[in-house]
Structure 1
């Protein structure tokens, strides 16, 4: 049991990972967000990051099996000219399809609020990964707690501008 005042578990008890809404709720929220984005002609549903808050972008990849374009809305933050996101599937175990697609075809396009960019995706490694993971932690989300729910390490994905 967690102490409500300090939000820390009592001595001798392990911290628990954060509570995640049911999968059906998460999937419904994604569907509604995507529909809103499409119905507004891509004018609403994306926002730029603000201090201590991530933004949203629409990432378009090429399907690894179909060769067709696939678009997904993701959270991100900026690290210089690069965009940083996490390859998570609602914190479920399997890798998200967009990340598998990006590994097969690293060139992609992102739509940000008011801009479109050609990018190349890759996984951050070593010290860079640790630094960028810290960046996510600074945004206030309990990424460490959520990551404990996954059996594999969550990839930190860097989207670099393409020339």
Structure 2
């Protein structure tokens, strides 16, 4: 399913329909922590000024998504947003910044509260992507 979303994103200038209509999506390409191979995933994002913020919700599963583990191992990545593509560096938001960004996401996408409920004790990481080639 992810490959179909990726293909639609790229062929339609960053717009995806169906279940993702109106959802701000980006394509995040990380380096596999074990394989060293590039891994691309469609991920919902929140714009925060010049930065992009992604949430390692994994649909509320009890474990973090693979892309999050990849960013922990190698925080440099590549994003595609609309028709733009550029390099980013990832960092995890902590403390008041995390709470501010999480609150904004809940306002934008209230169903993320359900992801946190389903995740139980696993606190969903908030990851900030900062452009590095500007």
TM over 0.5: same fold? yes
Deviation per CA, 1:83-117: give whole Å up to 9, x if none.
01100222111110000000100000000111002
Match of residue 152, structure 1, among 94, 107, 122: 122
1:7-156 matches, cutoff 5 A: 31=1, 33-38=2-7, 40=8, 42-44=10-12, 46-47=14-15, 54-150=23-119, 151-156=121-126
Partner residue, 1:18: none
SS in structure 2 at match of 1:103 = helix
C-alpha displacement of 1:122: 1.2
TM-score by length of 2: 0.86
Structure 1: gaps of 5 or more residues = 1-30
Change (3 A) 1:94 1:36: closer
C-alpha displacement of 1:45: 7.6
Contact 2:54 2:127 in 1 (8 A): yes
Contact 2:14 2:83 in 1 (8 A): no
Given the alignment of the two structures, is residue 162 of structure 1 paired with residue 104 of structure 2, yes or no?
Answer: no
Structure 2: gaps of 5 or more residues = 17-21
Size of the alignment, in residue pairs?
A: 127
RMSD value, Cα = 2.0
Distance across 2 between alignment mates of 1:130 and 1:54: 22
Partner residue, 1:22: none
The structure carrying a bigger strand percent of its residues is: 2
Q: More relative contact order in 1 or in 2 (CA 8 Å, sep 6+)?
A: 2
